[in-house]
Amino acid sequence: MYRALLVEKDKAFMEMAVTFLTKINRDIRVVPCEDPEDVMNLIEKYNPDIIISDHSPPTGVDGLSLFRNLLRRNTNFPFITMVGNGSEEIAVEALNMGIDFYMIKDRPPRELFTDLADKIILAVEKRRIEDERGLNEKRLKALVRLAKMHRYGFSEVAHFVLEESVKLTRSGMGYFALYDEKRDMLTMYSWSQSGMKECRIEEKPIEYPMDKVGIWGEPVRQKRAIIVNDYSTPNPLIKGIPKGHVGLKRLLMIPLMHDGKVIGTAGVANKFEPYDNTDLNQMNLLMDGMTSIYMGRLSGEARYETERRYEEMLQFAPVGIMVVDNQGVIVECNLRTRNILDHLSDENHIGKGLIEYKNDFTVQLYSAVMDSIRNRSATHNKIRFQASELNITLQVSIQPRMNGRDEIRGAIITLEDMSNIESSLEKLERASFQLNVVDRMTFLEVSNQIQIIRGYVNFIKAMTENEPLQEHLDRIIDSSTMIQERMRFAKDFRNVGIIDPEWQSISDIISQLAITMDVDEGLLEIKTGNLEVLADPQLPKAFENIMAATLSDDTVTGIKVGFNIVEGRMRVVYEDDGKGIPDSLKDSIFDVPSSLGSNGMYLVKEVMGVTNFNITENGIYGEGTRYEMTVPNTHYRLRS
């Protein structure tokens, strides 16, 4: 999914952009912004993947100034600027500033927005690959540094590991505590700097008896990782937050194990996005290293094992690692690097200068190393490696090495094979494009052919009075209607859960459906006021299926939509005064296929389930249907 924040004062152009981009690629979600002053608020609310801005000062948006302001605020998003006719000077200025793409608006809409959709995907995927590579580099550097910290004091090691855990998981804070099994006591050993700054508890207890510790003691009790991605959800293990404590939204906690015993626990909290297995792996890697160092303080054998393990980890890392001196002579390299260099020479690589290989790759690498050493700064280059029928693209990162006197000793080089990633990205883009085209063509063509079949069948019916034949023709029409219903269901269902949930007004949804479904005036009563729910964008389609079921009942004379809050639980209620649903069918109406012969209610349940809504039908048969939708506490609000 690609969420694009579009900054544009021209409402007509904005509407065209929303319409065309969504049709061209359903994975693109446009967040409109008519006032540049609202950009930071929308960034905080929607966390877009890319920003697209008009540039037409003085009457329109000044896209270049907006980009400069974002840079000053350290918000590093992919950026596309668009101008009416444009000029060479503006184009050069935009690209020199670091803007990803510069586009001319003055061309046919379909051509413009097809080009824009392609550039959105390319810019976002490029940034995602860069971010992932950056995270891998940070992880590698942290592991390399941790592997060399056996002579540091344990408090320094703990502080380093904790701060790196917070950074690598993009969390807001973190902690580390040791566990004394004999006393059944947790001792808080270290807080991350951000956690200490935000915490305002008057007395920060150092020791915590396990019988009084809430959910953050569960990794010790259960000897496994615990992830809580919604701290506000009721949980018997959560015992509240002390007054002045940092507010919690999400938690990732792991036990620290040694020889099958728990020796402590560590956790991070308040990541902007939900925690996942990648975050868990980051924590385990760093905390395992810290645990080994801690136990190594108690045992020389444990220290030796830790050093061997990290040396092994670096040697067999999936990326190439090379250390050179300030003359470009190889001092050390791991197995992956040796495998690459073996294609150039079968001699020993240690002690050999990069320039001695006499290959385009090593010449470029030598030049980049010298530039990095001369400028005393890290560099990142993409270099193609060609030798012995081998043709791969390597992402090369070079970090100067300093000694204790801040003198250059050489450089650390990492070599990451990007060939498969680039190839996969190209195939992914092509496959996505083909699937969209085939899907649209198939749906349209099949729908047209079904209409033609039904037209011919009706034509034949009008030409004959043979009742058995007319019955067979009616069955053909019924079957074609069923095919169309299944196709519509498939089209709607494939979009469920694809786009992130968004805030939606229940009143607006029902009012719009009343117009599009031609509901008789006076039949519908809406009492949802200013209620908004955070739900899947397919929520209107869910209500459409519910209302369609109601309107198919010719006994219905009234429909009501409202809500109530009971014991803090929000319930949206939809009810009518029709025939209702027999008790024997209530448990199966949301199945597929349902006992009522429709997939519509299954779609309703799936749309609700994306954001953990629960829906039930509890009307009285003979008096009408009544659907209750229970909304999680964090997924509704009453707008003022």
C-alpha closest to that of 368 among 378, 358, 359? 378
Q: Cα dihedral sign for 239, 245, 251, 252?
A: negative
| 136-to-128, 372, 456 alpha-carbon distances in Å | 12, 20, 63
Upper half-sphere CA count for residue 358 (Cβ side, 13 Å):
1
SS3 520: coil
Backbone angles phi, psi at 77, to 5 degrees: -105, 150
Q: What is the dihedral of CA 207, 213, 217, 221, to 10 degrees?
A: 110
Q: Does domain 2-130 have CATH number 3.50.50.60?
A: no
Torsion over CA: 83, 87, 91, 94 (sign): negative
Task: Work out the angle between the directed axes of helices 600-610 and 467-493 (0-180°, nearest 10).
Answer: 0
Topology annotation, domain 502-638: Heat Shock Protein 90 (3.30.565)
- Which residue, 534, 537, 542, is CA-closest to 606? 542
Alpha-carbon Rg for the chain in angstroms: 31
DSSP state of 482: H
What is the sign, positive or negative, of the torsion defined by CA atoms of 84, 90, 94, 100? positive
What is the side-by-side order of every strand in the sheet holding 2-7? 28-33, 2-7, 50-54, 79-83, 101-104
Q: Which residues contact residue 153 at a Cβ distance below 8 angstroms, ignoring those fewer than 6 apart?
A: none
Tokens of 258: 């040694």
**Domain at 316-417, CATH from 3.30.360.10, 3.40.47.10, 3.40.50.2300, 3.30.450.20:** 3.30.450.20
Tracing tokens 């809409």 back to the chain, one arrives at 109
- Cα 224 off chain centre by: 25
Of 633, 593, 638, the residue nearest 613 (C-alpha): 633
CB 201 within 8 A of CB 221: no
Enter the DSSP assignment of 212.
G
pTM of the model: 0.36
H or E stretch covering 622: none
Q: What is the CATH number of domain 148-313?
A: 3.30.450.40
Q: What's the pLDDT tens digit per position in 199-217? A: 544 455 578 888 888 887 8
Residues 271-296 as b/e (b if ≥16 CB within 10 A, e otherwise) read beeebeeebbebbbbbbbbbbbbbbb
Q: Which residues of the chain have pLDDT under 50?
A: 200-202, 242-244, 302, 594-597
Question: Are the C-beta atoms of 140 and 164 separated by less than 8 Å?
Answer: no
